[in-house]
Amino acid sequence: MKITVEEYGRLVGKASPHSKLLKDCLWAFLVGGGICLAGEALRKAYMAAGFVRSDAGCMTSITLIVLSAVVTALGWYQKLAAKAGAGTLVPITGFANAVVSQAIEARSEGFVTGVGAKMFQIAGPVIVYGVLASTVWGALYTFLRPFI
């Protein structure tokens, strides 16, 4: 059986799934923007409650981390990530999800050797390099301050 190039192209187009790129990008944008909007709303609410700007920012970060951990523990974060993709990778909530996911997977190994050790597989390098970078910055600032 011989088919023409045009017929083959039509059959391929008919059998191929349609690209969902625009829909996926829209979901990622809306979910990521929604997380950021929720963070801004939290910050404004903390400032309205009497916190100064820096304290309101800290409280917002803490709240987003706790909410992300709870949503991950309930299994909703993975469902949202399956739908929204990169939109859930907002740094603070995405990192909290990564740490809590590791801890949840390791809970069968016990609290100390499982949860306590495994959740730092991802958090460990971030903590080490964060402390190292802040120490270097503090040392440079302390020693170079008279010259600035």
Which amino acid makes up residue 36? C
Query: Is residue 15 pLDDT above 90, yes or no?
Result: no
Provide, rounded to the nearest whole percent, the portion of the chain with pLDDT above 70.
83
pLDDT, mean of residues 37-60: 95
Count CB neighbours of 65 within 10 A. 17
Q: What is the pTM of this model?
A: 0.65
Kindly list the distances between the CA atom of residue 127 and the CA atoms of 28, 57, 89, 123, in Å, as whole numbers in the listed order.
28, 20, 19, 6
pLDDT score for 13: 80
Query: Is residue 47 pLDDT above 70, yes or no?
Result: yes
Of residues 38 and 3, more confidently modeled: 38
pLDDT score for 109: 66
pLDDT score for 41: 97
pLDDT, mean of residues 7-31: 84
pLDDT score for 76: 92
Closest CA to 64 of 32, 19, 18: 32
Q: Where are the domains of the chain?
A: 21-105
pLDDT, mean of residues 103-125: 65
